[in-house]
């Protein structure tokens, strides 16, 4: 069956974008709790009320809001650990690069307001298995932290099994940060955005037709021709050339307004969870609507989406489909998913119902099993909070492993 011809566009943002700053702060707080709670558990710590420290008991739903000169952290958290919210916030802002007032935000002088409180007991009783059957096994006692649906997506159009436009936009955003941090381009500032348009023929990416790079810069840099030349040489060309895609006729837009000095939280507010398409597949796959950052993995918004990507990626990596989207649905307090859907957009090498049956045999999609199989109680989440949660070649991104290929092939044989 012949595919379609079309243009598709995806965007990304750098770690200095205010929404991404919020995501990184929320995930840094989650990481600090996981790391400290693990140490308390190892030390055998018992709280004054008699509750022992337990990494499995950690619950975190942390959100961050940034505006000019101020960071507000709020949410519901359950832990025996003490963490220094002020220090975590300031360290993240400093690492991103906002470390002096002339950049519009300063890690040393910004106000930090902590409004975190304990988790609702109504939520806790469902996730903790208070109402589980007495004979339920340990994993059945861990209910989903909320209701909802989550999607995972994979396509063989890139080596990372990510959509080409999203992959290119994310790598350009990473490159933009890299040339700032290594002082290749000293006039750059932390805030920035990238956008890539790709032309598809017969559903395959063949050419980049447009690139947009908007980067915050020092006020004394006035010549946009210099900035455009630097972006072409140091950011755009290296990424596109490495990807091996045609781009010679692409329209290139760099700072289209002609100036980008005011950025970060001084230029716009930032809020956790406001870049969910940037976090996932650039719009190429559907999204259930739940954000990831600041949430421990009993929240299926996060763990379910990671598992769905893991399933979809293994199906494509196994050669069972060229494209694959997986949907999972959960009810709060219930361990087993309510539904599992596999859509290969007509690219499957086997009957799709066989794939659905194979997924049920090969993957345990209860939240507790996902946490176990993907090792999701490690403090690795801050680095997921910029440049995408998927398509990253990092050993801690366990949902990117293609370790169920042979089982899937055997299950559909």
Give me the mean pLDDT over the 133-145 stretch. Answer: 74
Share of residues in the chain with pLDDT > 90 (%): 87
Give me the mean pLDDT over the 219-240 stretch. Answer: 95
238 CB-near residues (< 8 Å, 6+ apart):
175
Instruction: Give pLDDT, residue 136.
Output: 61
CA 71 to centroid of chain Cα atoms? 21
| Strands of 242-290, DSSP E | 251-254, 270-271
Give me the mean pLDDT over the 318-337 stretch. Answer: 96
Write the CA distances from 367 to 49, 153, 298, integer angstroms.
28, 19, 6
DSSP string, 315-354: HHHTTSBSEEEEEEEE-BT--S-SEEEEE-TT-BSS-HHH
Write the CA distances from 13 to 16, 111, 150, 281, 355, integer angstroms.
8, 24, 23, 13, 35
How far, in Å, CA of 26 to CA of 295, rounded?
Answer: 8
Yes or no: say if 47 and 82 are a contact pair by the CB < 8 Å rule: no
Give me the mean pLDDT over the 345-358 stretch. Answer: 94
How far, in Å, CA of 131 to CA of 154, rounded?
Answer: 36
Handedness of CA 369, 372, 378, 381 (dihedral sign): negative
Asked if residue 275 has pLDDT above 90, the reply is yes
- Binned at pLDDT 50, 70 and 90, residue 127 comes out as low
Q: What average pLDDT is seen over the chain?
A: 94
Q: List beta partners, residue 76.
A: 61, 117
pLDDT tens digits along 147-198: 999 999 999 999 999 999 999 999 999 999 999 999 999 999 999 999 999 9
Instruction: Give pLDDT, residue 198.
Output: 98
Give me the mean pLDDT over the 2-27 stretch. Answer: 96
Instruction: Give pLDDT, residue 129.
Output: 55
Give me the mean pLDDT over the 272-285 stretch. Answer: 97
Q: List beta partners, residue 155.
A: 323
- Binned at pLDDT 50, 70 and 90, residue 130 comes out as very low
How far, in Å, CA of 111 to CA of 115, rounded?
Answer: 13
Write the CA distances from 259 to 67, 215, 227, 348, integer angstroms.
21, 9, 10, 48
Yes or no: say if 387 and 16 are a contact pair by the CB < 8 Å rule: no
pLDDT tens digits along 282-303: 999 999 999 999 999 999 999 9
Asked if residue 131 has pLDDT above 50, the reply is no
In this predicted structure, which of 49-63, 231-245, 295-309 has the lowest mean pLDDT? Answer: 49-63
Which of 363, 395, 382, 310 is closest to 35 using CA atoms?
382
Yes or no: say if 115 and 73 are a contact pair by the CB < 8 Å rule: yes
How far, in Å, CA of 256 to CA of 260, rounded?
Answer: 9
How far, in Å, CA of 188 to CA of 266, rounded?
Answer: 16
Give me the mean pLDDT over the 206-227 stretch. Answer: 95
How far, in Å, CA of 357 to CA of 225, rounded?
Answer: 57
């Amino acid at each position: 069956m012949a595919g379609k011809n079309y243009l598709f566009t995806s965007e990304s943002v750098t770690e200095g974008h205010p929404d991404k700053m919020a995501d990184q702060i929320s995930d840094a707080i989650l990481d600090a709790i996981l790391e400290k709670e693990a140490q308390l558990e190892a030390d055998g710590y018992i709280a004054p009320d008699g509750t022992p420290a337990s990494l499995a008991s950690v619950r975190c739903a942390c959100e961050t809001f940034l505006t000019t000169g101020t960071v507000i952290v709020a949410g519901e958290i359950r832990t025996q650990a003490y963490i220094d919210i002020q220090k975590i916030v300031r360290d993240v802002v400093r690492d991103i690069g906002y470390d002096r007032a002339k950049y519009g935000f300063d890690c040393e002088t910004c106000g930090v307001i902590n409004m975190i409180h304990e988790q609702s007991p109504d939520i806790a009783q469902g996730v903790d298995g208070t109402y589980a059957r007495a004979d339920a096994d340990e994993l059945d006692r861990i209910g989903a932290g909320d209701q909802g649906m989550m999607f995972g997506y994979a396509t063989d159009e890139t080596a990372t099994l990510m959509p080409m436009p999203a992959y290119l936009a994310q790598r350009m955003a990473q490159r933009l940060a890299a040339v700032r941090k290594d002082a290749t381009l000293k006039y750059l500032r932390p805030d920035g955005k990238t956008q890539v348009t790709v032309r598809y023929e017969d559903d395959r990416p063949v050419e980049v037709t447009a690139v947009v790079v908007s980067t915050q810069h020092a006020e004394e840099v006035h010549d946009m021709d210099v900035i455009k030349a630097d972006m072409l040489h140091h950011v755009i060309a290296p990424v596109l050339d490495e990807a091996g895609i045609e781009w010679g006729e692409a329209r290139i837009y760099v700072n289209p307004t002609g100036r980008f000095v005011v950025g970060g939280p001084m230029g716009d507010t930032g809020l956790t969870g406001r870049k969910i398409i940037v976090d996932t597949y650039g719009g190429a796959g559907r999204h259930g609507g739940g954000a990831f950052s600041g949430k421990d993995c009993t929240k299926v918004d996060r763990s379910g989406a990671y598992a769905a990507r893991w399933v979809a990626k293994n199906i494509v990596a196994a050669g069972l489909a060229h494209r694959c989207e997986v949907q999972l649905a959960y009810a709060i307090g219930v361990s087993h998913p309510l539904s599992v859907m596999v859509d290969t957009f007509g690219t499957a090498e086997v009957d799709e119902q066989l794939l659905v049956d194979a997924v049920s045999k090969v993957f345990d999609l209860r939240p507790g099993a996902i946490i176990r199989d993907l090792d999701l109680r490690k403090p690795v989440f801050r680095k997921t909070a910029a440049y995408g949660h998927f398509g990253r070649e990092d050993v801690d991104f366990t949902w990117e492993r293609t370790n169920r290929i042979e089982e899937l092939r055997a299950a559909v044989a």
